[in-house]
Structure 1
Amino acid sequence: MSYPYQIKSLEAYQQAYKQSIESPENFWADVASHFHWRRKWDKTLEWNFTEPKVEWFKNAKLNITENCLDRHLKNLANRPAIIWEPNDPEEHHRVLTYKDLHYKVCQFANVLKNNGVKKGDRVCIYMGMIPELAIAVLACARIGAIHSVIFGGFSAQSIADRLQDAQAEYIVTCDGAYRGQKDIPLKNVIDDALIGCRFVKRVIVCTRTRTPVSMLKGRDVWWEDEVKKVETLGMFDCPAEEMDAEDPLFILYTSGSTGKPKGVVHACGGYMVYTNYTFVNVFQYQPGDIHFCTADIGWITGHSYIVYGPLSAGATTLMFEGVPTYPDAGRLWDIVDKFRVNILYTAPTAIRSLMGFGLGPLQGKKLTSLKTLGTVGEPINEEAWHWFDEHVGKGKCPIVDTWWQTETGGILISNMAGITPSKPSWATLPLPGVQPILVDDRGEEITEAVDGEFKGNLCIKAPWPAIIRTTYGDHERCKKNYFSTYPELYFTGDGALKDEQGNYRITGRVDDVLNVSGHRIGTAEVENAINMHAGVVESAVVGYPHDIKGQGIYAFVIYNGGHGDDNLQRQNILQTVTRIIGPIAKPDKIQFVSGLPKTRSGKIMRRILRKIAENEMENIGDTSTLLDPGVVEEIKNGKL
């Protein structure tokens, strides 16, 4: 499969970028013409950011799985589509060719239909990183059901919140999952989540760990039994449902600055075109390359760069069930050598963690197949960038430092491997079709550089095909979160620097959202969970620099649950957070305080707490307007 829209030189990038800004409709119509559409669009783009409303490829008809599977069967039927490496290196890996994957997706799509799933129904998928997860995602897309994948580390309460928001009546899960040394009891967690979700009609359970589970008659069925049923009925093929380009493809929940997670909705047509385009160009994918993205499909990175981007490009995508440090810190390098991986796309958190083990785990690893390295989830610091470059890439592999978000669907700012220049710890240049702008707090464009750099809040001026369409069931929230802060602009929530060559460096969140190990967690969400602990009166949560995670979670807690062992109280609070959100949101530090710095109107001054958590005691600023300025000294003296 060739990619006529693949950029092959810096000059070609500059030309493509110019065309994409001057004539976005013609530019994207040309890219989209290389996909399979059942009906072509009447209009390439219609938009305004006030409502907001964005429509790409208006009235076009398609099914994304025909582009990810069916169109490859003629020439690529026997090419590996998915290579799966299990958690345990002693267990045998699996390879699914495009022919195999097409068969299994049709098979499970028929299972879904047989269990009552129809076009437009929401299906929650809560599974470990096994091929059946990708199969379930694609099977939903095949029949027009809207999938909502929930990361396997979330708690029952978090799942229940998401099920209720999406009104998802169908669930696909596993008996359990393996992740490093842990066995995660997925079905038991689902059972707990369903206590308050009586509207769920069916739970389809795939066998993985052979953990004993409860199966309720009339609600719970085994994946394997349901597959046998459709085979007995002779249901082998499953024609793809015709979808409008603007029909929802999936909902993916992300943390917001309020306690309630928000369901980001992506549409079929634009998302398909954009994930494919960015995959092919950023990584400079060549037919036959093995692409290894270490993310979980429960996050947007897995959706876009394990499933839809690579498969729509006829690529070979590698899925890994485990973690980079199990059974030892050489596991990623073993996988690269075992499968002759060409592209390795991972998170700065993973790189920093592996750096901590020294060079021992790299001894004896060839890594000669690698051509491109990539990072995602958070800005990468220079030390980690150079370590990755020198010891993994051997100085021969370009590193693409990709910046994007759940809401953007695909990469917005990044160098292209070996095509556009890289700059350590800078995301560099916007991709074609992406128009960034830096503004001050009043929304006015930053036009003056300080020491050769422009600094401001990062916004985007115009839509790209994979932009968020809405937040599920609450369009007003979408408008408020992304399009109201600065009129006529999409606000990313991030701050950034721009140099005089037009390169961008992301400096981190400027709203109340933390970026922990590349995962966004709302401070309000963590505070809500802490406040549910019986002994807690009030709490405030901020981020602070963390050597491995990038950002750690620092909680200031007013506690009146009796006297005694502070450590035990901390453990109890951590258990509460784990129970309500999941272990991913556990604070790294909990400081007990008698009060919080508040204005006279009762607003907590998190800016002051952030300075204390970051050890910037001298830069706290004026505290005279606080209700009780003395509380600041007490907090400073008790800092952990």
Structure 2
Amino acid sequence: MTADVHRWAEPSIEEERLRFWERAAGLLSWQTRWHTAHSWTPPDPERRRGPEIRWFEGGRLNAAVNCADRHVAAGHGEKAALHFEGEPGDRETVSYAELARRVAQAANALDSLGITAGDRVVIYLPVLVETIVITLACARIGAVHQLVFGGFSAEALRFRVADTGAKLLVTTDGQYRRGTAVPVKENADAAVQGLTPAEGGNLEHVLVIRRTGSQIPWNSEDLNGDGRGRDLWWHELVETASAEHEPKFFDAESPLFIMYTSGTTGKPKGLVHTTGGYLTAGLYSYLRLFAHPDPDRREHDVHWCTADLAWVTAHTYEIYGPLAAGATQVIYEGVPKVPHPGRHFEIIARHRVTSYYTAPTLVRSLMGWFPGGVPTEYDLSSVRIAGTVGEAVNPEAASWLRSQIGRDTRDAQNRPVLPLVDTWWQSESGSAVLSPRPERDPARFKPGSVASPLPGWDAGVVDDSGRPTDPGVQGNVVITRPGPSMARTVWGNPERFYTSYWEKYAHAEGGRGWFLAGDAGQCDAEGDIWILGRIDDAINVSGHLLSTIEIESALVSHPDVVEAGVAPVHNATTGHAVAAFVVLSTSAWQRLEEDPAAGPELLSRLRSHVAEVIGPVAKPRTVIPVPEVPKTRSGKIMRRLLTQLHDGHPLGDTTSLQNEPCVPRIQQICQTLGTAPVKENAPQ
């Protein structure tokens, strides 16, 4: 579906959209019903401000009550809310009644620390039950939470604590990662060390969960005169608190959380999401995409979103969406290869997972670990639907997911028919925007296409002037009618919200304005949308605009390649050249170790393979084997960073990457190979 300005001029269409979202909001429990479903003040180019977006004005609700208390009140307190799997093998099942009890305790603990509505709390934890408990406790008292990946560096954490002006930091003594206990508290201490009020240093307490039993430093300094030390133990403060807590109810537009984007240039942007609209879209889209279509059969649903809880995908489809729906879900602390590559399949079989939502990068890793397919010892028959998120799924990965994870879902001709929803959305949108419908005819399945907008949203592919592109022509993906989960602003920097997302198409629809997603895309003849990667990732070779994802998909289709990252690099003649960074399969690495002379032949075959699949113009100038490609926490390959590494440019901020240690390794490989181009007028 392309952007169609004219149809939105019909009042009945917009009115029906608002009625749809009001029906969706009716799935929640509200203390006070809203008086105005939606209002929109267009972006203001003169003031350099984005639109003022408001949903469900006048309505009051509590997100934590919607995610726990109301299910207990409805008689579902004994239903499992969470199946926790720790990386070392420890497990725990938490019912909705127990979840509500723990959230009430944590809310009382926050109250006792003087945390009030509007205060910010930074949560620096791995995937634990306590992470969800403290997140919901913040929502219960109206504090604004900001979750930080437990593997981020002290520098990345420091920025977030300072930028939010957080009063409380919640962390742990350590976490289990790749089979070992790694320290966390030391990073937290380093992050806040010497942080002054002028820098945003408002921290009063650090609340510490005992997870690994590691020896940790302790700070007993009383920072706010409450008679307590800076550092406090979770088990002493939270687990001894009263389980009776009276919730407060907040305006629908009250901030719920801040979500920071990742990037290799500039500081991360803190996107502000508000309560009523976000929860409405999160709940509706979870039900639409992952819940059983028959409400009477949803009691058997077991959802597993494999994302780390700090990522926006987990906020929406691992915390708020499933819990607001009263669903049972799995949360897993560790990495998928510990203690063996089949850990995910083991968990699916044990908990009878029905919906499996993961990233294409993990699917490609599983393909490399199991080149012969998933062993039959794992019972995957419970899986009813699979989903991908983060980047467009490569056709090879999509086919593998359907044929292996969904091997028990086949038609009369023995073809895999597992519904696969390849979702497209962003930290900015807060919930899924584009996705094939789960009930779509399997014969029309298009691996790699995110199809069309979900109900209540509209989006399109347009050129720089805002005109819809023709089928097969690359353009910019825009959101023309955002849903209620859309971010409202950038924390502390509303001008950046405008310049990053609204400035380019502020003139659209007579000044109503469209949201620039930053992704390139194209529509096919049937109107389905295909995401081609970030706009600034496109490669222009002698006037030919090439899609990085298309080239990566071609490389991954070769049996020797597990994953690929393609980036535009300097070429004095053609403007850009294609550099491909590839993660080879285990067997390919073994062949190279046994015969180093086989390396050039393999790389030449890979270059020729791309030329055969796409065409000679897409043939990479160079193919560079690397141990990993750098990715954000959402699984997106940081192609700009690959360009910087290849061409020897200064690197931007890399602290927000999920695998930051790979950066110096790739840098060393590039330096050894001498990939940086000779600069014009440089001494020879």
User: Following the alignment from structure 1 to structure 2, what is the Cα–Cα distance between the partners of residues 480 and 378?
Assistant: 24
Is structure 2 residue 483 aligned with structure 1 residue 486? no
Aligned-partner SS, 2:516: strand
User: Following the alignment from structure 1 to structure 2, what is the Cα–Cα distance between the partners of residues 582 and 392?
Assistant: 25
User: Following the alignment from structure 1 to structure 2, what is the Cα–Cα distance between the partners of residues 631 and 435?
Assistant: 50
Q: Higher mean Cα deviation, 95-104 or 482-491?
A: 482-491
User: Following the alignment from structure 1 to structure 2, what is the Cα–Cα distance between the partners of residues 582 and 156?
Assistant: 14
Alignment CA distance shift 1:463-1:556 (3 Å): closer
Tell me the residue number matched to 1:566.
Answer: none
Q: Higher mean Cα deviation, 120-129 or 22-31?
A: 22-31
Tell me the residue number matched to 1:70.
Answer: 69
Is structure 2 residue 400 aligned with structure 1 residue 381? no
Which of 35, 39, 51 is residue 46 of structure 1 equivalent to? 39
> What's the CA shift for 1:454?
4.0
Tell me the residue number matched to 1:29.
Answer: 22
Q: How does 1:313-328 map to 2 (within 5 A)?
A: 313-328=325-340
Alignment CA distance shift 1:429-1:484 (3 Å): same
Is structure 2 residue 660 aligned with structure 1 residue 584? yes
Aligned-partner SS, 1:161: helix
Aligned-partner SS, 1:87: coil
Contact 2:266 2:653 (8 Å CA) reproduced:
no
Tell me the residue number matched to 1:620.
Answer: none
Alignment CA distance shift 1:124-1:544 (3 Å): farther
Alignment CA distance shift 1:48-1:384 (3 Å): same
Q: What per-residue deviation string (whole Å, max 9, x for no partner) do you get for residues 442-470 of structure 1?
A: x3213433xxx242100011221100101
User: Following the alignment from structure 1 to structure 2, what is the Cα–Cα distance between the partners of residues 102 and 558?
Assistant: 51
Aligned-partner SS, 1:301: helix
Which of 496, 499, 514 is residue 524 of structure 2 equivalent to? 499
> What's the CA shift for 1:153?
1.6
User: Following the alignment from structure 2 to structure 1, what is the Cα–Cα distance between the partners of residues 42 and 581?
Assistant: 34
User: Following the alignment from structure 1 to structure 2, what is the Cα–Cα distance between the partners of residues 347 and 558?
Assistant: 26
Q: How does 1:449-488 map to 2 (within 5 A)?
A: 449=471, 453-487=472-506, 488=513
Is structure 2 residue 149 aligned with structure 1 residue 151? yes
Q: What per-residue deviation string (whole Å, max 9, x for no partner) do you get for residues 510-563 of structure 1?
A: 1379999xxxx9x9xxxxxxxxxxxxxxxxxx9956457573642546999xxx
Which letter maps to 2:503?
S
Tell me the residue number matched to 2:621.
Answer: none
Is structure 2 residue 217 aligned with structure 1 residue 211? no
Q: How does 1:396-435 map to 2 (within 5 A)?
A: 396-419=417-440, 422-435=445-458
User: Following the alignment from structure 2 to structure 1, what is the Cα–Cα distance between the partners of residues 342 and 191?
Assistant: 36
Aligned-partner SS, 1:408: coil
Aligned-partner SS, 2:238: helix
User: Following the alignment from structure 1 to structure 2, what is the Cα–Cα distance between the partners of residues 425 and 287?
Assistant: 31
Tell me the residue number matched to 2:161.
Answer: 163
> What's the CA shift for 1:166?
0.4
User: Following the alignment from structure 1 to structure 2, what is the Cα–Cα distance between the partners of residues 212 and 222?
Assistant: 13
Which letter maps to 1:584?
E
Which of 159, 167, 173 is residue 175 of structure 1 equivalent to? 173
User: Following the alignment from structure 2 to structure 1, what is the Cα–Cα distance between the partners of residues 290 and 657?
Assistant: 34
Tell me the residue number matched to 1:341.
Answer: 353
Contact 2:206 2:231 (8 Å CA) reproduced:
yes
Contact 1:146 1:250 (8 Å CA) reproduced:
yes
Q: How does 1:224-263 map to 2 (within 5 A)?
A: 224-230=235-241, 235-256=242-263, 258-263=265-270
User: Following the alignment from structure 2 to structure 1, what is the Cα–Cα distance between the partners of residues 358 and 657?
Assistant: 24
Tell me the residue number matched to 2:56.
Answer: 57
> What's the CA shift for 1:278?
0.5
Aligned-partner SS, 2:428: helix
Tell me the residue number matched to 1:554.
Answer: 642
Alignment CA distance shift 1:325-1:503 (3 Å): same
User: Following the alignment from structure 1 to structure 2, what is the Cα–Cα distance between the partners of residues 577 and 352?
Assistant: 26
Which letter maps to 1:122?
R
Which letter maps to 1:383?
E
Q: What per-residue deviation string (whole Å, max 9, x for no partner) do you get for residues 588-631 of structure 1?
A: 6327999xxxxxxxxxxxxxx9xx99xxx9xxxxxxxxx96477
User: Following the alignment from structure 1 to structure 2, what is the Cα–Cα distance between the partners of residues 248 and 221?
Assistant: 27
Q: What per-residue deviation string (whole Å, max 9, x for no partner) do you get for residues 248-285 of structure 1?
A: 00001112574211101100000000001100001243
User: Following the alignment from structure 1 to structure 2, what is the Cα–Cα distance between the partners of residues 359 and 105?
Assistant: 45
Alignment CA distance shift 1:555-1:437 (3 Å): closer
Aligned-partner SS, 1:554: helix
Which of 233, 236, 240 is residue 222 of structure 1 equivalent to? 233
Which letter maps to 1:113?
D
Aligned-partner SS, 1:427: strand
> What's the CA shift for 1:428?
1.1
Alignment CA distance shift 1:310-1:49 (3 Å): same
> What's the CA shift for 1:21?
5.0
Aligned-partner SS, 1:389: helix
Alignment CA distance shift 1:577-1:371 (3 Å): same
User: Following the alignment from structure 2 to structure 1, what is the Cα–Cα distance between the partners of residues 531 and 504?
Assistant: 19
User: Following the alignment from structure 2 to structure 1, what is the Cα–Cα distance between the partners of residues 341 and 61?
Assistant: 43
> What's the CA shift for 1:438?
1.3
Contact 1:43 1:57 (8 Å CA) reproduced:
yes
Contact 2:520 2:533 (8 Å CA) reproduced:
yes
Gaps of 5+ in 2: 1-10, 44-49, 197-201, 221-228, 293-297, 408-415, 507-512, 539-547, 553-564, 568-577, 584-627, 630-635
Contact 1:460 1:489 (8 Å CA) reproduced:
yes
Q: What per-residue deviation string (whole Å, max 9, x for no partner) do you get for residues 60-90 of structure 1?
A: 111111111111112211110111011023x
User: Following the alignment from structure 1 to structure 2, what is the Cα–Cα distance between the partners of residues 593 and 289?
Assistant: 48
Contact 2:86 2:332 (8 Å CA) reproduced:
yes
Instruction: Provide runs of 4+ in structure 1 moved above 6 Å.
Output: 512-516, 557-560, 576-582, 591-594
Alignment CA distance shift 1:556-1:344 (3 Å): closer
Alignment CA distance shift 1:137-1:228 (3 Å): closer
Alignment CA distance shift 1:342-1:290 (3 Å): same
> What's the CA shift for 1:369?
0.7
User: Following the alignment from structure 2 to structure 1, what is the Cα–Cα distance between the partners of residues 420 and 654?
Assistant: 35
> What's the CA shift for 1:240?
1.6
Which letter maps to 2:338?
Y
TM-score (norm 1): 0.79
User: Following the alignment from structure 1 to structure 2, what is the Cα–Cα distance between the partners of residues 192 and 414?
Assistant: 42
User: Following the alignment from structure 1 to structure 2, what is the Cα–Cα distance between the partners of residues 296 and 445?
Assistant: 38
Aligned-partner SS, 1:327: coil
Contact 1:250 1:267 (8 Å CA) reproduced:
yes
Aligned-partner SS, 2:387: strand
User: Following the alignment from structure 1 to structure 2, what is the Cα–Cα distance between the partners of residues 582 and 23?
Assistant: 41
Tell me the residue number matched to 2:79.
Answer: 79
User: Following the alignment from structure 1 to structure 2, what is the Cα–Cα distance between the partners of residues 355 and 434?
Assistant: 34
Q: What per-residue deviation string (whole Å, max 9, x for no partner) do you get for residues 481-508 of structure 1?
A: 1111221110000011111222111100
Tell me the residue number matched to 1:107.
Answer: 105
Q: How does 1:511-530 map to 2 (within 5 A)?
A: 511=536
> What's the CA shift for 1:23?
2.3
Aligned-partner SS, 1:511: helix
Aligned-partner SS, 1:69: helix
> What's the CA shift for 1:197?
2.2
Contact 1:35 1:67 (8 Å CA) reproduced:
yes
Aligned-partner SS, 1:584: coil
Which letter maps to 2:94?
L
